[in-house]
Structure 1
């Protein structure tokens, strides 16, 4: 039954393992939901896994993007509830497709646990009445599929921490190296980094550095919606129209940075926050509140849209590189080499990746490693994370959130999810 799975621990394979199927749709709100089915040993180390992409229906994806915009407070809660039902019905169909593709229709239903993240509409851990608004209906998904479902991965962590990013809890298990410091860079809608200290596996640095794909994707959607496709170079129009994002960063590569706009946008207060308060929301870098007003204020509306996209892409890269250099200062000696691993959708944007690499190499010694060489898949790592959080919640294992803990919390541990059961 494990044909074509990625096998990491062959001696631990058996025919009665619990199988956790994670799903990540993320903050970039692209048109793909990433699914990873995985099994874990008693220590939470992956035994094997298999990945699947499922396309989100176009109309549903457009609704998700609409509710993810900064003006979403104007939208009735009933509309969000309706969208949650629509998204959950998509998950019902998608999970059943994945289960069928895995040839698990006859596998005991009690041994399969579904663990979707859901779609983040808003995440605000710094508000006095902190909250996270993620839509997916766990009980409905459990009832309609007949499988146990883990959702609400961030609600309990939010009580003791920023609850984002959550990736460091798995990264420290898989990538710690006692010989070298390790940096993992993730770019979905929002970018985050995890830094593992070679001298102490408990001293983890992990936080959101700022924007990643979200504002770039939104600008491209804006151009397409405003029928401004002709501003895009002819050779790039077809792939950008089809995918609705800057494929491989080719658009950014074709433009130039606008210094005045770069300086104004880099003045965003988020970039100067304390590290433990750095948990970003897509709306923090929404084009309608961050970019377009600056174009008007600086009288830059006449400038090339391509140059604007290049400028935003440069800010994404520079904010990540600056965060890494600043965070490594206290733990890196001059002679040591730091390993860097990229994952997430941004890892395909060659303009951003090359700019990050160039800036890092100007400051210290870095070794850039393809996640695939470490037996994991960059595009699906967050889906694997969701499977792992499902494993933790199912077994009532609390995760350590010291790296993003609230200042007044002395024991920042929480169980990352709530289990919903189908009727028996």
Structure 2
């Protein structure tokens, strides 16, 4: 059958909307071979959410969830292999992002769980995980990591590009057309995390499909300006963030002085995501003429995409579908690539993005 060519990427992000599994070939260029989405049981999701905030008995809970997630990641991988009839001999390695439960770069630590020992044991495939901490050890933020992948796949000499991933958090990558210019990238702030949390509380619905509910409301400009005062939005890159900052309790505290209608809160949160993205572009990205390629769950929010286009009237806003890679599978493909980089002893970070002292090989290898 030849030498192994396929890498599998596993991604479970801050949105907790499921585990994305992508089988990818990189010979000679990226090809998305097969995909699978595995739901996270509600009971497990609640345990993960519990671990993202301080609480009681955290170590025991983390240990149990670490095992359960490892088993679920392995199940998701095996489901893709079985459903697509893939030959395990052709799969070189699995790259597992893991589930982030704490990201505190200000204290030089980040923590992802989902035991890679269990993934390797239950799939019979070498697994690479723990991608972020080596970058932190080198003085970086440990995030975002996908810009190095974006640089390899999407950079072109024809035009400046910005890749925007809208998952739970939103992060962007600036890819200048001039090859000698540095790639830039950072987390702009919340992506879907606050919108999802609010609609779950208000309507017992996991997300606002197409941004339909937000579209029925009106942005509360006073509330929006209050939210925009958060110091994170005014910090210079490199920077990264997570649920430690953006969560329902924080939002509830900010809403106390207001009597904003529920749909108007949703509209305001959508505008918060759009504004923090476009404000970041206008402030930190040197190019004024670029193509904005959007991926992640937020790329399917029509109201959000329209708002981004309104705020960037002179630039094309579209999804990465238009550039040849399905927007829903971008991050899973990125961690397949990061596994490949690790296996080949090649660097996986971008110091110009994370602030690390230099390029580093990322990830720990769990061999079979």
TM class, shorter-length? over 0.9
Q: Which residue number corresponds to residue 116 of structure 2?
A: 138
Q: In structure 2, which of residues 233, 237, 253 is the aligned counterpart of residue 293 of structure 1?
A: 253
In 1, the alpha carbon distance for the partners of 2:112 and 2:94 equals: 16
**Alpha-carbon deviation of 1:133?**
1.0
Secondary structure of 2:173's counterpart equals: strand
Q: In structure 2, which of residues 148, 152, 165 is the aligned counterpart of residue 186 of structure 1?
A: 165
In 1, the alpha carbon distance for the partners of 2:354 and 2:21 equals: 29
Gaps of 5+ in 2: none
Q: In structure 2, which of residues 334, 342, 347 is the aligned counterpart of residue 393 of structure 1?
A: 342
Q: Deviations over 1:141-184 (max 9, x none)?
A: 21222211111011112222112111110111111121211011
In 1, the alpha carbon distance for the partners of 2:57 and 2:249 equals: 16
Give the TM-score normalised by structure 1.
0.82
C-alpha contact 2:23 2:34 (8 A) present in aligned 1: yes
Q: In structure 2, which of residues 255, 269, 275 is the aligned counterpart of residue 312 of structure 1?
A: 269
Is structure 2 residue 13 aligned with structure 1 residue 26?
A: yes
RMSD: 1.9
Q: Which residue number corresponds to residue 149 of structure 1?
A: 127
**Alpha-carbon deviation of 1:75?**
4.6
Is structure 2 residue 221 aligned with structure 1 residue 262?
A: no
- When residues 141 and 355 of structure 1 are mapped into structure 2, their CA distance, relative to the original with a 3 A threshold, is same
Give the TM-score normalised by structure 2.
0.94
In 2, the alpha carbon distance for the partners of 1:318 and 1:119 equals: 27
Is structure 2 residue 141 aligned with structure 1 residue 162?
A: yes
- When residues 52 and 288 of structure 1 are mapped into structure 2, their CA distance, relative to the original with a 3 A threshold, is same
Secondary structure of 1:89's counterpart equals: helix
**Alpha-carbon deviation of 1:34?**
0.9
Gaps of 5+ in 1: 1-13, 224-228, 230-239
C-alpha contact 2:135 2:354 (8 A) present in aligned 1: no
C-alpha contact 2:88 2:125 (8 A) present in aligned 1: no
In 2, the alpha carbon distance for the partners of 1:359 and 1:263 equals: 16
- Count residues with an aligned counterpart: 367
In 1, the alpha carbon distance for the partners of 2:180 and 2:269 equals: 34
Q: In structure 1, which of residues 263, 266, 271 is the aligned counterpart of residue 233 of structure 2?
A: 271
C-alpha contact 1:117 1:153 (8 A) present in aligned 2: yes
Secondary structure of 2:144's counterpart equals: coil
The correspondence of residues 322-401 of structure 1 with structure 2, limited to 5 A, is: 322-328=279-285, 330-332=286-288, 337-361=289-313, 365-401=314-350
In 1, the alpha carbon distance for the partners of 2:3 and 2:156 equals: 32
- When residues 107 and 292 of structure 1 are mapped into structure 2, their CA distance, relative to the original with a 3 A threshold, is closer
Secondary structure of 2:54's counterpart equals: helix
**Alpha-carbon deviation of 1:385?**
0.2
Secondary structure of 2:195's counterpart equals: helix
Secondary structure of 1:203's counterpart equals: coil
**Alpha-carbon deviation of 1:400?**
4.1
- When residues 212 and 370 of structure 1 are mapped into structure 2, their CA distance, relative to the original with a 3 A threshold, is closer
In 2, the alpha carbon distance for the partners of 1:360 and 1:385 equals: 27
- When residues 252 and 421 of structure 1 are mapped into structure 2, their CA distance, relative to the original with a 3 A threshold, is same
Q: In structure 1, which of residues 116, 125, 128 is the aligned counterpart of residue 96 of structure 2?
A: 116
Q: Which residue number corresponds to residue 51 of structure 2?
A: 67
**Alpha-carbon deviation of 1:61?**
2.1
**Alpha-carbon deviation of 1:386?**
0.8
C-alpha contact 1:22 1:114 (8 A) present in aligned 2: yes
Q: In structure 2, which of residues 217, 235, 241 is the aligned counterpart of residue 280 of structure 1?
A: 241
Q: Which residue number corresponds to residue 76 of structure 1?
A: 58
Q: Deviations over 1:286-331 (max 9, x none)?
A: 1202x211222x2x2x431111111111111011011112223x34
